[in-house]
Amino acid sequence: MTFQGALDEGGKLCTNRFETTWAPGSDLIVSGWVSDEDEWKKGFNKVVCTVRNADISRTTGKIPTPGSV
C-alpha cells in the first residue's frame, strides 16, 4: 500500500475489519492511524487501528475482549 493509499483507505480498512468486534455500540469508534510520509518511507509503513470514545473523551480502563460485548 502506498502512503497516499493508507491515508485514503486506512480508516475504512480498520472500521470494516474491527468495528463489529471492538466497537459494536455507539460509544466507541474504530479509526486508523498512519505515520507521516517521511516515517512511512523509512519503513514505518503500517496502518495502526485504534479504538477511541465517540465523544472524544479520554479512554480509560480495559476494552472488552472482542466478542464478549
Whether the per-residue pLDDT at 67 is higher than 90: the answer is no
Q: Give the C-alpha distances (Å, rounded to integers) separating 1 from 8, 17, 30, 40, 42.
A: 11, 17, 20, 11, 14
pLDDT tens column, 22-60: 888 888 899 899 999 999 999 999 999 988 888 888 777
Dist CA 55 CA 31 (whole Å): 14
pTM value > 0.95: no
